[in-house]
Amino acid sequence: MTTPILELRQATKLYGGVPAIEGVDFSLAEGEIHALVGENGAGKSTLTKVMAGVVSLSSGTMLIAGREIAPRTPLEARQLGVAMVFQENSLVPSMTVAQNLFLGQEKFYNRLRGIYIAAQQFLQSLNFDVTPTATVAQLGAAKKQMVEIARAVLHEAKVIIFDEPTASLTPEEKKYFFDLVRELKRRGVSVIFISHALEEALLISDRITVLRDGRHVVTDATANFDRARVIQAMVGRDLSKTLYAERKAHVRPPGERVLTIENLRMAPMVKNNSLSVFAGQVTGVFGLVGSGRTETFKIAAGILKRDFFHGGEIVLRGRPIRYLTPAPAVRDGIAYVTEDRKVEGFFETMSIARNVYIGLLAKLGRRRPLVLAREAEAVGKKWIDALNVRAIGQDVKVVELSGGNQQKIVIAKSLVQEPTLIVFDEPTRGVDVGAIAEIHQLIDRLAEEGNAVVMISSYLPEIMARSDRILVCRQGKVVEEFSARDATEEKIMYAAIH
Amino acid sequence: MKPLRITQQGIVFSIFVVLFAGFAVFLPGFLTTSNMLTLLQNVAVLGILGLAMAIVVIGRGIDLSLIAALAVPPGVVLQLVQDGHSLSYALLLAALLTLAFGLVNGWLIAYAEVPSLFATLASGLFLAGLGQAALFKLDVVQWSPGLEGFEGLGQGAVLGIPMPIVMFVGACIVVAIFLRRTRFGAFIYAIGDNPFAARSSGIPTRPLIVLQYVLAALIGMLAGLVLAASVNSMPTRIYNSTLIYDVILVVVLGGIGLAGGRGGVLNVVIGTLLIGTMLNAMTIMDVSYSGQNLVKGVVLLAAVIADSFLNPRNEETAQQGDI
């Protein structure tokens, strides 16, 4: 057997003492397409980030073409021939395609005409249908990805890593993407491919590696796998079976109609969206990135504003509402738990208790002019216990916690405001498996207590397992509604992408 | 066990202790009661301004118009009294002017969403220009008999402690209570830490930003009154001096990060004490003005670099611990 182009031995990466990957062995042969699959939080992203130099290993070794080396920055990795195409792409939106391709390699005198011609020739040689003079911001998701791939090839990458490349692509674009990947393979480039979509992994890859809870489970030729075997390897444990049970045992009936949205518009993301949310059940909202699902509920919570003219109607318990800021929405009992907790979730310089207490202060407003240290402590302690936050003490700063515990704090900060309509946006993104189960139980419990719960997710098994009612968003509006009883993954996916 | 964290605040405080001890031992005439009082008196106005700046910086802003708020409203007080109005009337009018000025600053930053750096740079220039062009007859607004008794604010003493120090200590206590014990204070920290999270938690971020600039302007005016009362005039040209840089120096040196959400009154006090000690010692040692600036610059750079090494802002690098 020839030397693998890239190899990891006993790779371990700790985040704040918690292993994201632990003792993983991985090898990539030259010119192979290697699929990396696993549940959310299985360590796929961490593993590839190590290879791409985004994070460095806590212990273990990495070999490139048989030579022991560990890239410390993405630039070093690129120089070693390892390029990563991220979920959120790393192009400069205001520059043209050609400028992005040659970014960082410009000559001292940067002649635009020259790079346009070079880019045109290069893109043609790859058979990519992208105009080099187009601004990246104007391109669709698939074309952006092409530019990313072209850039990786241009930099003579020997290994290209794709993190969820197909998540935001339409079926035609996906087919085109697969052709691209095969073309890369023909050129002798090795490809690592992270995907939630098992069919894709089975279709395109030569070998599949399954990770679970940060550990390596199995690596084998794709021919020896079928869907059932991959799922078995991914899930493996009882916990995961209860997490994403195929179907709910019973569907909760709708209670009072809490929120009605009619013809909501916010150019360009939300287009004539209409939907209802009922008390006492979990309304799952599924949609791909850019389907307007997050924006719709951010408008309802006063975080974003709808169009001033023809913006549509939002009715909360029979009362039309139009919030200019989130403060009145909070007073009316609407909570939005963000999908991006680092950017808009918590206060990183503050302790756990203070984070939660700020939520309470914001709700109480005038009724609590002074900060009561004893109350802050009690509230912090109560919610740490209630949500089972694992931390050394309540004075620990939130940044020092793991993703799951951070998410619990963000949830506590909202729940302390005693909301009756709670919107969870991707509640388990970047959350460890144990905490996922707890957050799911919490979501169920909130619905049982009679609250209206909305759960936005782009992870189908999560939607399937937790929702009583499923709304599917596409291109700015809800296009289909299912009862959890008769929804299937295929039906939901079909509605979301066609 | 939690590892011992070395904060910038700690570094600056230890530098202060080392310097102070060094001067006390080696510099004759440094450690005397009268010199200590002089030291404090000289930095009291700077310290009060530091408190005003701290409120704004904690809320992730900056107020470059503080010196205008220091110079113009007290100048107006002196001018009005000189023109024959009563002191209380003059004070009321000046306070209203300051209030309006703070509101405009806050409105520009919170509602018109002008970056605080530009908004306050422009508004400060405007107010200072307005004062010099339209309100004052001379660049140095002179003392007049109608101000009888007012000089006590700068020259009096309580229990032998000079009034400027008393005012600084009083302002410290009030601002500390405001920041640490009131809801508004907690919200200002929240806004400075993460404005998006603060907003979506239901904190009225815009009114609170306005409040910060109103408070800053009012505290700036207080500093100006103390200054005018101690020198028996209001040298409005102080706006053209480098005082604003000293204020920023005090705040940053004390460890109130410009990124917002960090630090408090204690940091202002530490920053002020260090600057006060350095300036006082250098004056005793007869270091030239330019030499003093040189030393200040080096100290500030050292503090900022030490901070970025010890407390890396990026979470990813913090976790790796390899910076």
Alpha carbon distance B261, B212 (integer Å):
13
B204 touches chain A (CB under 8 A): yes
Taking the CA atoms of residue A454, residue A459, residue A460 and residue A464 in that order, the dihedral angle to the nearest 10 degrees is -40
Contact B89, B197 (CB under 8 A): no
Span A238-252, average pLDDT: 59
Contact A152, A99 (CB under 8 A): no
The token pair that represents A112 in the structure block: 């635009």
pLDDT higher than 50, residue A266: yes
Å from A214 to nearest chain B CA? Answer: 18
B322 occurs within a structural domain = no
Residues 119-158 on B with a CB inside 8 Å of A are: none
The token pair that represents A236 in the structure block: 């493996």
Is residue A468 exposed (0-12), middle (13-18) or buried (19+ Cβ within 10 Å)?
buried
Sign of CA dihedral B158, B164, B167, B171: negative
Å from B258 to nearest chain A CA? Answer: 13
Give the CA angle between residues A175, A178, A179 to the nearest 5°. Answer: 90
| Of the candidate ranges A73-77, A116-120, A228-232, A244-248, the one whose mean pLDDT is the lowest | A244-248
Which chain A positions have a beta carbon within 8 Å of B2's beta carbon? 392
Contacts of B253 (CB under 8 A, 6+ apart): B12, B271, B274, B275, B299, B300, B303
Q: Do A349 and B189 touch (CB under 8 A)?
A: yes
Contact B33, B157 (CB under 8 A): no
pLDDT higher than 90, residue A492: no
Alpha carbon distance A61, B129 (integer Å):
65
Contact A36, A218 (CB under 8 A): no
pLDDT higher than 80, residue A228: no
Contacts of B128 (CB under 8 A, 6+ apart): B67, B68, B71, B72, B236, B239
Contact B151, B231 (CB under 8 A): no
> Could you tell me the pLDDT band of residue A238, with boundaries at 50, 70 and 90?
very low
Å from B289 to nearest chain A CA? Answer: 38
> Could you tell me the pLDDT band of residue A245, with boundaries at 50, 70 and 90?
low
Supply the pLDDT for residue B222.
Answer: 94
CB pairs under 8 A between A and B: 95
Backbone angles phi, psi at A448, to 5 degrees: -60, -35
Domain hosting B305: range is: 8-309
- A7: which strand partners? A27, A63
Spans of chain B below 50 pLDDT: 1-3, 314-323
Q: Do B202 and A326 touch (CB under 8 A)?
A: yes
Supply the pLDDT for residue A85.
Answer: 80
Average pLDDT of chain A to the nearest whole number: 83
Å from B18 to nearest chain A CA? Answer: 29
Q: Return the closest-CA partner of residue A202 out of A30, A37, A48.
A: A37
What is the count of structural domains for chain B? 1
What is the per-residue DSSP string for A151-179? HHHHTT-SEEEEESTTTT--HHHHHHHHH
Which chain B positions have a beta carbon within 8 Å of A343's beta carbon? 196
Residues 8-47 on A with a CB inside 8 Å of B are: 15-16
Which chain A positions have a beta carbon within 8 Å of B319's beta carbon? 15-16
Give the CA angle between residues B258, B262, B265 to the nearest 5°. Answer: 100
Contacts of A315 (CB under 8 A, 6+ apart): A259, A260, A261, A262, A321
Alpha carbon distance A492, A459 (integer Å):
11
> Could you tell me the pLDDT band of residue A462, with boundaries at 50, 70 and 90?
confident
Ranges of each domain in chain A? 6-243, 245-333+419-498, 345-417
Supply the pLDDT for residue B74.
Answer: 92
B247 occurs within a structural domain = yes
> Looking at the partner chain, which of A336, A365, A371 has a beta carbon nearest the beta carbon of B186?
A371
Q: Do B200 and A368 touch (CB under 8 A)?
A: no
Supply the pLDDT for residue A110.
Answer: 67
Which chain B positions have a beta carbon within 8 Å of A362's beta carbon? 187, 201-203
B51 occurs within a structural domain = yes
- B35: which strand partners? none
Q: Do A347 and B194 touch (CB under 8 A)?
A: yes
Supply the pLDDT for residue A240.
Answer: 46
Answer whether the bond into residue A268 is a cis peptide, omega within 30°.
yes
Which chain B positions have a beta carbon within 8 Å of A346's beta carbon? 194, 197
B321 occurs within a structural domain = no
What type of residue is A100? Answer: N
Contact B98, B69 (CB under 8 A): yes
Per residue in A170-187, pLDDT (tens digit) is: 677 778 788 888 888 888
The residue written with tokens 């570094």 in the block is: B11
Sign of CA dihedral A469, A473, A478, A480: negative
Contact A202, A226 (CB under 8 A): yes
What is the per-residue DSSP string for A259-285? EEEEEEEETTTEEEEEEEEETTSEEEE
Alpha carbon distance A202, A34 (integer Å):
10
Residues 311-370 on A with a CB inside 8 Å of B are: 325-327, 329-331, 336, 338, 342-350, 354, 357-359, 361-363, 365, 368-370
pTM of the model: 0.77
DSSP state of B91: H
Distance from the Cα of residue A307 to its chain's centroid: 27
CATH assignment, A245-333+419-498 = 3.40.50.300
Strands A313-316 and A319-320, bridge-based pairing: antiparallel
B143 occurs within a structural domain = yes
> Looking at the partner chain, which of B201, B318, B319 has a beta carbon nearest the beta carbon of A362?
B201
Supply the pLDDT for residue B208.
Answer: 95
Per residue in A366-412, pLDDT (tens digit) is: 888 888 888 888 998 899 888 888 776 767 778 777 778 889 999 99
CATH architecture of A6-243: 3-Layer(aba) Sandwich (3.40)
Interface probe, candidates B1, B7, B200, B203, chain A, greatest A C-beta count within 10 A: B200
The residue written with tokens 């140095």 in the block is: B140
Alpha carbon distance B4, B323 (integer Å):
17
Supply the pLDDT for residue B323.
Answer: 24
Residue B322 CB: number of other CB atoms within 10 A? 9
- A67: which strand partners? A64
Å from B124 to nearest chain A CA? Answer: 30
Which chain B positions have a beta carbon within 8 Å of A359's beta carbon? 201-202
pLDDT cut 70: percent of chain A above it: 91
Q: Do A350 and B190 touch (CB under 8 A)?
A: yes
Q: Return the closest-CA partner of residue B61 out of B17, B6, B12, B113.
A: B113
Å from A302 to nearest chain B CA? Answer: 8
Supply the pLDDT for residue B114.
Answer: 92
B319 occurs within a structural domain = no
B86 touches chain A (CB under 8 A): no
Interface probe, candidates B201, B209, B258, B315, chain A, greatest A C-beta count within 10 A: B201
B202 touches chain A (CB under 8 A): yes
Answer yes or no: is the ipTM higher than 0.85.
Answer: no
Contact A348, B194 (CB under 8 A): yes
pLDDT higher than 80, residue A192: yes
Helices first, then strands: H and E counts in chain A: 18, 20
Q: Do A347 and B197 touch (CB under 8 A)?
A: yes
Alpha carbon distance A255, A397 (integer Å):
39
What are the angstrom distances between the C-alpha of A9 and each of A4, A62, A63, A317?
12, 6, 8, 58
Residue of B nearest to A72 (CA): B322
Contact B219, B63 (CB under 8 A): no
Contacts of A139 (CB under 8 A, 6+ apart): A97, A130, A147
What are the angstrom distances between the C-alpha of B123 and each of A56, A305, A406, B129?
48, 30, 41, 10
Per residue in A140-165, pLDDT (tens digit) is: 777 787 788 888 888 778 888 888 77
Alpha carbon distance B78, B70 (integer Å):
13
What type of residue is B73? Answer: P
> What is the C-alpha radius of gyration for chain A, rounded to an integer number of angstroms?
24
**CATH number of the domain that residue B292 is part of:** 1.10.3470
pLDDT higher than 80, residue A15: no
